[in-house]
């Protein structure tokens, strides 16, 4: 039994939400958790950030894929822009941290890198003590998925595992 499980996603694209819904459903059906809850972490951010984060991604996919490609390549190097991105994420997540303190999860399962970064940062600051699992919902892994306080990564493809290991994740964690 996993105890209290929090499945975390974002509404930036439908894939992250669908994966989280499927994980939540499987945990419930199989009775693997005493309590399970799926949350979109963007609902805890301010309206401007939420709108920009989710809408900007869809707009870039549909109207400017070359810009999205440039951003993807630019941020593909582990550590690049990491401190700025994490600081910005933290500023937008005070309500989420408040929720975590009330729910007190034993396990966090993240289907998007935003909640994974937040959980990892909170673990590094010793503000929460949870197992942090990341389900990589993309076919290929991006450096933005890398978080130092992730306990386990789950991937769909062997190639993704190889890429994570090449990026420095211990094989035992994938």
Q: Where are the domains of the chain?
A: 4-153
Average pLDDT over residues 121-133: 92
Please report which confidence band the pLDDT of residue 143 belongs to, taking 50, 70 and 90 as the band edges.
Answer: confident
Cβ distance 33 to 22 under 8 Å? no
Cα separation of 72 and 88, whole Å? 18
30 versus 57: which is more confidently predicted? Answer: 30
pLDDT digits (tens, 9 = 90+) for 63-119: 766 765 666 666 555 555 566 556 655 666 778 888 998 999 999 999 998 899 889
Bridging pattern class, strands 131-135 and 107-110: parallel
pLDDT digits (tens, 9 = 90+) for 2-42: 999 999 998 877 788 999 999 999 999 999 999 999 999 98
Cβ distance 10 to 40 under 8 Å? yes
Burial of residue 81 (CB within 10 Å: 0-12, 13-18, 19+) is: middle
């Amino acid at each position: 039994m996993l105890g209290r499980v929090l499945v975390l996603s974002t509404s930036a694209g439908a894939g992250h939400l669908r994966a989280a819904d499927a994980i939540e459903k499987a945990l419930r059906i199989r009775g693997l958790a005493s309590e399970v809850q799926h949350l979109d972490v963007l609902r805890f951010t301010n309206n401007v950030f939420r709108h920009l984060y989710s809408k900007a991604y869809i707009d870039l996919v549909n109207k400017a894929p070359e810009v999205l490609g440039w951003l993807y390549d630019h941020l593909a190097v582990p550590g690049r822009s990491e401190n700025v991105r994490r600081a910005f994420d933290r500023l937008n997540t005070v309500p989420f941290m408040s929720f975590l303190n009330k729910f007190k999860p034993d396990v966090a399962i993240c289907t998007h890198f935003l909640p994974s970064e937040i959980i990892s940062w909170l673990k590094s600051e010793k503000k929460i003590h949870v197992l942090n699992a990341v389900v990589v919902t993309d076919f290929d892994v991006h450096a933005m998925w890398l978080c130092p306080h992730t306990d386990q990564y789950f991937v769909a493809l062997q190639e993704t595992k190889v890429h994570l290991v090449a990026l420095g994740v211990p094989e035992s964690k994938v």
